[in-house]
Structure 1
Amino acid sequence: MQAKNLAVAALCVVGLAVSATSAEASERRPTVTKVHQYDAADAQFPEGLAIDDRGMIYTSLVFGVLHRIAPDGSSEVVAELDVNGGYLLGLTIPSTGTILAAVMSPDPAVSGVWRFSEADGTKTRIAGLPAYPAAFPNGITTDQAGNIYVGDSQGGIIWRVAPNGGVAEQWASGPLLEGDPNGGIEGAVYGANGPVVRQGAMYVANTEQGSIVRIPINRNGSAGTQSVYAQHQELLGADGVAFDQHGSAYVTTSVMNNSIVRVLAGTGQVDVVVDEADGLNYPASLSFGEGPLPEDTLYLANTGTTPGLTSPPAVLAVDINVPGIPD
């Protein structure tokens, strides 16, 4: 993804104190291995990724397939959804057995939040969102109370939905969450993307501004004052966000940089962990391992659609050597 006439602000970070372990890990080049390869010829392009406490990896193949990879490497289709000209995108797992997905579609009967049962693939739309191009539901997460949040890349909005579904409300919006007003990518504007909740605040990747935005969650559930947690040219294309146990953030940068970038807690140092030389090709969602999967390994959806790159669509594992915080 490329933004036009984008002025990148100086790096600005507020974080926790960095430990020696996290700092030392930033000096080593991690190993990247392929967990599962998809078939580009069959339009199998993974974008969303979430892992449950049994180590099951769920991916969304953008044209409407929810796929599962077991810790032993076996895999299967869980469900299929007619996205009617749209995409099946971000995933999150609020509890074992339930997968939530953000769906972008020009069909107003399809766009929104969908709930899938991993047992039998039953699917239900639990909240509608404006149809594309009015909205682009992209990343998705939940808080400790079970509230659901969706990053709307087109509108620069974080939508909130009650745990059991219902009417979506605009929880947060504003210039820090908006995309590039001068153009956008392939006809779309990509602002607020992958959100994640950590220690009473939400962190949102802004794809075209190359930033991570921090939004405190007030005691009454409302959104607090937004601030730039990190902004850097290496963060252009920011898509998914995950944190390690020392408070450092790991950010995929999709097609604009094709990398995973680390923002070290406390110092704010930004460094590239792995990139296209390691096989990254439009990296999207990412998550640390859970259950039998190593907790110091990042798993990511490598969409495989960057023009000029040949690495196939796949789920990749990146040995970070620092334990992560489960989503």
Structure 2
Amino acid sequence: MMNRVTVFNPYPIKGCWVRGALALQALALVALAIPTAAYAGQYGDIETFAAVPSAPGFPEGISVQGNRVYVSGPATAGTAGTGPSQVLVYKRNSGQFESTITVAGENTAFEHALSCNAVDRKQRLYTLTAQLFAPPEERKGILRFTKKGKSYLQETYSEAFPNLPSCAFGPDFPGACSLPNDLAFADDGNLYVSDSFQGVIWRVPPGGGAPLVWLQSPLLSGGGQFPIGVNGIRLDPSRQHVYFSVTFSAANPGVGAIYRVPLVQEPVAADVELVHEYAQGEAPDGFAFGRSGNLYVALAAANQISVLAPDGSEISRIASQAGDDIPLDAPANIAFDNARRSLLVTNHASFNPNPDHFAVLNVFVNDVAATLAKPSLP
């Protein structure tokens, strides 16, 4: 059984809604919640924040810490025999490239990747690493990087994510099935991690260690050619629920959704509530909450940003315009640039790979981030 929050999506999804009545409605909702921005752009304007080089390429993870923007990748298959994964560091106020954090200890003979990242109160960076097909001793879980002068100290924060019978490729899959995709801290230091190939959300205790299954359900499993199930994950601003996206549902790969589940010690499948359904193959991926209460969702297959009101109804779509330098191309994840009241969006460019589209885009929404949990961890 699955609970439903309310009746959603009263508008048919036809084309993009960037400027016009719905965009103005979204802008009005934001304006009621927070002061007017100094930036005089139009809602939905898209600019290039920074180009991402083809090596590593396929950027996915993004987080903002002060004047630094951390962009992690490559989040793709086909990396066996290539160089190590990297986190690229940019200056938030200018988009200027600052430095590269190169992951040490990967066995680059096997598939290797970085997906999403997060920061804590001590300004330490956490990234999810995957070593698909690698033997157990080669696998990693969560890495933590602490800035020391001009370099970063790398530590292993969690043990590797084990294989489960729910593996999308079958219970006897010979390699590492787990695809840790996104991560979100709670205020108490627990870290919640989506596992896209195993239909599970893991919980890693404060300070790291062994990941434990927190929520598992067929609703979280993926299907189709790219069986990406549970994907983006965030706590809502009230810290009462964990929200997560499912990109390609196992029951119908053309359907994706945003769900939520109460932030309790041991949730069960019956606790899962549907927030919003995308039934046209749009492939919801990462997302972020604004202080307005709106939820900004990257639609990887639609090349758009969906904006959901607090009740789950869709109030606008943001899409690229003809004059944009780089168009939205399989947007993967979202962080806020509060100073510009805009979204920073990673252009994954994964469905029809185009290195010219590897980038971080700045999307003006006249909103700022809801406060993220940044626990003080040991």
Q: 1:37 matched to which residue of 2?
A: 51
Name the amino acid aligned to 2:70.
Y
Q: Deviation string for 1:45-86 (max 9, x for gaps)?
A: 21100111x131001021510111113424211333426312
Taking the aligned partners of 1:46 and 1:308, their CA distance within structure 2 comes to: 12
How many Å separate the matches in 2 of 1:178 and 1:24?
Answer: 38
Q: Secondary structure at the match of 1:176?
A: helix
Larger mean CA deviation between 113-122 and 276-285 belongs to 276-285
Where does residue 88 of structure 1 map in the other structure?
114
What percent identity do the matched residue pairs reach? 23
CA contact (8 A) 1:51 1:57 kept: yes
Contact in 2 for aligned 1:260/1:275 (Cα 8 Å): no
2:278 and 2:53 map into 1 onto residues whose CA distance is 34
Which structure 2 residues correspond to residues 219-230 of structure 1 after superposition, within 5 A? 221-223=265-267, 225-230=271-276
Establish whether residue 317 from structure 1 lines up as the match of residue 346 from structure 2: no
Instruction: State the match for 2:85 in structure 1.
Output: 64
SS at match of 1:130: coil
Distance 1:110 1:137 in 2: 12
1:175 to 183, 208, 218: 218
Corresponding residue of 2:39:
none
Aligned partners of 2:306 and 2:314 also within 8 Å: no
TM-score normalised per structure 2: 0.72
1:257 equivalenced with 2:298 (yes/no): no
Alpha-carbon distance in structure 1 between the residues aligned to 2:233 and 2:355: 29
- With over 3 angstroms needed to count, the CA separation of the structure-2 counterparts of 1:251 and 1:301, relative to structure 1, is same
Asked whether the equivalents of residues 235 and 253 of structure 1 are also in contact (C-alpha less than 8 Å), the reply is no
CA distance in 2, matches of 1:248, 1:173: 27
Q: Distance in 2 between matches of 1:245 and 1:140?
A: 20
Mapped to 2, the partners of 1:319 and 1:213 lie a distance apart of 26
* Unmatched runs of 5 consecutive residues or more in structure 1: 1-8
Aligned to 1:103: 129
Give the aligned length.
301
Which amino acid counterpart does residue 69 of structure 2 have in structure 1? I
1:129 to 143, 161, 165: 161
Paired residues of 2:62 and 2:335 also in contact (CA < 8 A): yes
Give the conservation status (yes or no) of the 8 Å contact 2:124–2:146: yes
* Counterpart contact for 2:27–2:365, Cα < 8 Å: no
TM-score by length of 1: 0.83
Structure 2: how far apart are the matches of 1:263 and 1:45?
A: 26
CA distance in 1 between partners of 2:355 and 2:59 (Å)? 15
Q: 2:219 aligns to what SS in structure 1?
A: helix
Question: Residue 168 of structure 2 corresponds to which residue in structure 1?
Answer: none
Structure 2 unaligned blocks of 5 or more: 10-25, 34-41, 75-83, 164-174, 250-255, 373-378
> In the alignment, which residue of structure 2 is the partner of 1:78?
101
- Number of the residue aligned with 2:229: 191
Q: How far apart in 1 are the matches of 2:155 and 2:208?
A: 10
- Map of 2:286 onto structure 1: 240
What's the CA shift string for 1:7-31, capped at 9, x where partnerless?
A: xx9x9559xxx99423999xx6511
Q: For 1:248 and 1:179, locate their aligned partners in 2 and report how far apart those are by CA, in whole Å.
A: 26
Match of 2:253? none
Aligned equivalent of 2:144: 115
Q: Any idea what the Cα deviations from partners look like across 1:217-243, whole Å, max 9, x if unmatched?
A: 12xx33361111111236731111111
CA distance in 1, matches of 2:46, 2:187: 32
Give me the CA root mean square deviation. Answer: 2.8
